[in-house]
Chain A
Amino acid sequence: MLRKIRILLAALFLIGITLLFIGIGHNWWGWMAKLQFLPSLLALNLVVVIGVLLLTLLVGRIYCSVICPLGVFQDLIIWIRRKGEKLFKKKKTHKFKYLNEHKWVRYGVLVISIISLVASGQMLIALIAPYSAYGRIVRSIVAASTGSVTLPLLITGLITLIIICVCAWIWGREYCNTICPVGTTLSLFSRVSLLRPVIDESKCINCGKCGRDCKAGCIDTKNHKIDYSRCVDCFDCIETCQDNAISFRYVAPCKCSAGKEEPDKVDQGRRAFLVTGAVVAASAAAHAQDHMHGGLAEVVGKKDPDRTERLVPFGAGSVKRFYDHCTACQLCVSACKNHVLRPSSDLEHFMQPYMSYENGYCRPECTACSQVCPAGAIKPVSVEQKQTIKIGVAHVNLDLCLPAQGKDSCGNCAYHCPSGAIRMVRQQGSRNQIPTVSEDRCIGCGACENLCPSRPISAITVNGLSIHHNA
């Protein structure tokens, strides 16, 4: 019964969160993302953080079996393997066995994660944090299927996917119990949880079935002990035991059992990430069709210009604050319908998003990214607030500007500027009307940059502001 409820809830969460990453249902089940532990911690969302810790203290690591999408995803892999073995009637089926706790690795990773959090080195934690890792897997697949994927995202997503699949297939929940910093944090509380599965030695016939079925490898059948720091409350053992020797019940706080300490034998292989900048040069020579009617002129793709400072979303506060809080889960990237946000490929901010305006601009009526961010890296802003925040300032490069070069009269930037920050001015000593920017009024939305006819580099580009402030 408990197991069935767990599976039902887990399925709901996995489907819900997956849909969020595809870009569906923010209005209905967006709260699922807000329950995630690490993003909530970064957002200083204490209600969720304390809630999850209390839940763990009460019933153990149920979080890892229901709320964490990566955990449920691993359960899915394990389930597929079991089904597969049944389907093909394999004689020798894969069994789990009791694994030793790799304490040094566990706490080592946790300590390094905490240090990197404090020292603003979000890259490491963003890579191994379960929710963000799952987000990248889904995003890379979705983006690949729509053809809009960047190479670093694809590679990161796929490598994560492969490692998680292989780990789950062979060792069950070993990733959660050795690497995952959230799992280790929760394990500190689950060790002393009030409710937990307990083996009744009087009923146990020492068949060892529960141990072979335990994907967390935490049941020491010989000694009738369960390592509660690693038990993820899947309740499989309770259902497996035909003698009803295992029950989920209250245990008075007392000294807790733990596996014997043994030196680490195996260490998880470190992930090697290839960071390859994808430079897709859409170089297409404009086809000269002298007086012929019809057809479409080739449009050269825009390139991301050099910016003196990065552009991060309205609501980020400052570039540093944004990158300190962001877990690189990609939820904002999937929410950005204007194709502005995308994951970085540089090492310092690996997979953490930034903005650019080649394919669209930050439209005045849209606040999607600020509504979905579970980590508080992008604080919620209203449409009205958004008009008053400055995230960047536009800058004109007259060498590329069509009217300044006497090519065509233009003024498209001024025409479309939502803030009225651009005016066309007749240049002294010239007949040409050129765009000028009022640095005070410009908020950095990028309408001008996106709609500038100069390609591949726009004649008007936006530089980010390291600290956002009111316009």
Chain B
Amino acid sequence: MGAGAAAVALDACTPDVAKKAGKASTSNKDLHGEMLQNYPGIGVLGYGCMRWPQKRNEQGRNVIDQEEVNRLVDYALEHGVNYFDTSPVYLGGDSERATAEALNRHPRDKWKIATKMSVFNATTYEACVEMYHNSLRIFKTDYLDYYLLHGIGTLNDFNTRFKDTGAMDFLLKEREAGHIKNLGFSFHGNQEGFDQIIALHEQYHWDFVQIQMNYVDWEHPNGRNTRADYLYAELDKREIPIVIMEPLRGGALSDVPAQIADQLKAREPERSIASWAFRYVGSFPRVLTALSGMTYMEHLQDNLESFLDFQPLDDEEKKFLLDVADLMEDYPLVKCTACNYCMPCPYGINIPGIFKFYNDNITADTFVKSKEQKDYARKRRKYLLAYNEAIPTVRQADHCIACRRCERDCPQNIRIPDELRRIDKYIESLKRETIQ
């Protein structure tokens, strides 16, 4: 169990799991060293503000733990992390406020803010402009360092949301006026869609592009999503700086299946599992910053260790990681990054929670494979008990009616209801003991 952006701040139990994972690797220590910068003034470790720590307030609702956010931000800035990526929709719409509150305790020139125009459905010019102005207001600033069109996948998508509404023209004007220092977009989709949107570079000049890149997505993206090696090459060719999202695949690359973890540890026993993923993305010179959603201090410290006095991977090591990614394809893992875009499910299903439970049991080898296996009865009982502990029965997979609303929101292109039914079938086979 390595540290990393593993935390899914969904409900009370998940942060605890993450906390445990973090504590295992690093304790409080003084970190020294030079933060890696591929472009002057920007630390390659960037802060993803989608996974701030949460706590329960008096009403029993999860709210952001502001005190801890402040502590994390202070520590990050002190160690050269100065790129903060948020969005008006993250954490139930509270991420921008919490991030701004922490950052505004520091001089404006010490930090770079990246936020997004997070409109997803048919919208109006007014709604777009209001969202933009609201971000400026929240950060008490008259310029945004980085501004993104949030999650576009096809030209059609871009047209309906940003071009036809007039939002794009507005943003271009704002860039000209110096209120937006860099204008770009974040991308999730297939290759055809990417080609269409990157072709707009000549017309709009994208200052940067945010893509999902890590040693698994390099060759094995989920579903119809585009391979990261292709995305990188296309952007590199055009000399467009690249912001990396999900360098850890939502923590999946800090908690890999036990047999694979053994291989990584055999090579670098002192380093965390997560460090491999960071050193992988940090080794590409076109990377402006790699965003990690560091929920706890342990995550931040562990990630910093990779980027302070950075040691790039050599070609042999990169090849080794790609082989590891090949191996990971053999496990029935759900490629969920716990981004929570599918949430809330209107029927109350805890989608990322179920996927995390399922994946964690595979990586921790607590997955029940067959009746013949050693300790079958105990493992089965433990698995079923743990499932009820992790997910309240009314939020379990068998309550999914496959309305498929979640599917269109999933940036990873996961067929969520099919995966939920696959998991439910597995759990049902455990309950009825019909597993072979």
Contacts and interface: CB of A to CB of B under 8 A. Distances in A.
B178 interface: no
Q: Give the size range of A's interface with the partner.
A: 20 to 34
Interface in A361-380: 363-365
B344 A294 contact: yes
A363 B398 CA distance: 13
A236 interface: no
Interface in A286-330: 289, 291-299
A451 B431 contact: no
Given A299-B395, A364-B432, A365-B432, A293 B401 contact: no
Contact of B348 (A292, A298, A365, A408): A298
Contacts of B433: 365
B345 A297 contact: yes
Interface stretch (B88-96, B288-296, B359-367): B88-96
B403 A409 contact: yes
B343 interface: yes
Among B62, B344, B393, the one with the most A-chain Cβ atoms within 10 Å of its Cβ is B344
A293 B339 contact: yes
B125 to A, nearest CB: 17
Among A297, A409, A412, the one with the most B-chain Cβ atoms within 10 Å of its Cβ is A297
A271 interface: no
B262 to A, nearest CB: 34
A402 interface: yes
A416 interface: yes
Nearest to A402: B401
Contacts of A359: 393
Interface string B335-373: 000011101111110100000000000000000000000
A296 B11 contact: yes
Contacts of B403: 408-410
Contacts of B400: 412
A274 B285 CA distance: 76
Contact of B92 (A289, A415, A451): A289
Nearest to A412: B401
Contacts of A217: none
B258 interface: no
Nearest to B118: A291
B92 A294 contact: yes
Contact of B399 (A294, A364, A409, A451): A451
A291 B120 contact: yes
Interface string B400-430: 1111000000000000000001000000000
Nearest to A299: B348
Contacts of B347: 297, 299, 453
Given A299-B394, A411-B401, A293 B432 contact: no
Contacts of A409: 401-403
A298 B432 CA distance: 30
Contact of B89 (A291, A296, A364, A416): A291
A438 to B, nearest CB: 21
A295 B344 contact: yes
Given A291-B89, A293-B90, A293-B92, A363 B343 contact: no
Contact of A295 (B343, B398, B402, B432): B343
A408 B401 contact: yes
Contacts of B398: 412, 416, 451
B121 interface: yes
A363 B402 CA distance: 22
B348 A294 contact: no
A23 interface: no
Given A416-B398, A451-B398, A293 B340 contact: yes
A296 B10 contact: yes
A360 interface: yes
Given A360-B393, A365-B431, A295 B92 contact: yes
Contact of B340 (A294, A297, A408): A294
Given A299-B348, A408-B403, A409-B403, A294 B432 contact: no
A249 to B, nearest CB: 51
B249 to A, nearest CB: 18
B98 to A, nearest CB: 13
Contacts of B394: 299
Contacts of B393: 359-360
Contacts of A293: 89-92, 339-341, 343
Contacts of B339: 293
Interface in A93-108: none
Given A296-B395, A297-B347, A453 B92 contact: no
B401 A297 contact: no
Contacts of A296: 10-11, 343-345, 348, 350, 395
Nearest to B120: A291
A54 B31 CA distance: 81
Nearest to B409: A293
Contact of A453 (B62, B395, B399): B399
A297 B403 CA distance: 15
A412 B121 CA distance: 28
A298 B395 CA distance: 10
Nearest to A287: B344
A365 B435 CA distance: 13
Contacts of B121: 291
Contacts of B10: 294, 296
Given A365-B431, A412-B399, A294 B120 contact: no
A289 B90 CA distance: 12
Interface in B1-30: 9-11
A365 B429 CA distance: 11
Among A292, A293, A294, the one with the most B-chain Cβ atoms within 10 Å of its Cβ is A294
A297 B399 CA distance: 13
A419 to B, nearest CB: 13
Contacts of A363: 431
A294 B343 CA distance: 5
A297 B432 contact: no
A409 B417 CA distance: 13
Contacts of B119: 291
Contacts of A410: 401-403
A188 B262 CA distance: 74
A415 B120 CA distance: 32
A451 B91 CA distance: 29
A292 B92 contact: yes
A297 B346 contact: yes
A297 B90 contact: no
Contacts of A402: 401
Contacts of B348: 296-299
A170 to B, nearest CB: 45
Contacts of B9: 294
A471 to B, nearest CB: 18
Nearest to B54: A294
Interface in A393-416: 402, 408-412, 415-416
B401 A453 contact: yes
Contacts of B346: 297
Interface string A61-101: 00000000000000000000000000000000000000000
23 contacts: A291-B121, A292-B92, A293-B340, A293-B341, A294-B9, A295-B92, A296-B11, A296-B343, A296-B345, A296-B348, A297-B348, A299-B347, A299-B348, A299-B395, A365-B431, A365-B432, A410-B403, A411-B401, A411-B402, A412-B398, A412-B400, A415-B421, A416-B398
Nearest first, the 5 closest Cβ-Cβ pairs linking A and B are: A299-B348, A294-B340, A297-B344, A292-B93, A410-B401
Given A291-B120, A360-B393, A410-B403, 5 more contacts: A289-B93, A291-B89, A294-B90, A294-B92, A412-B400
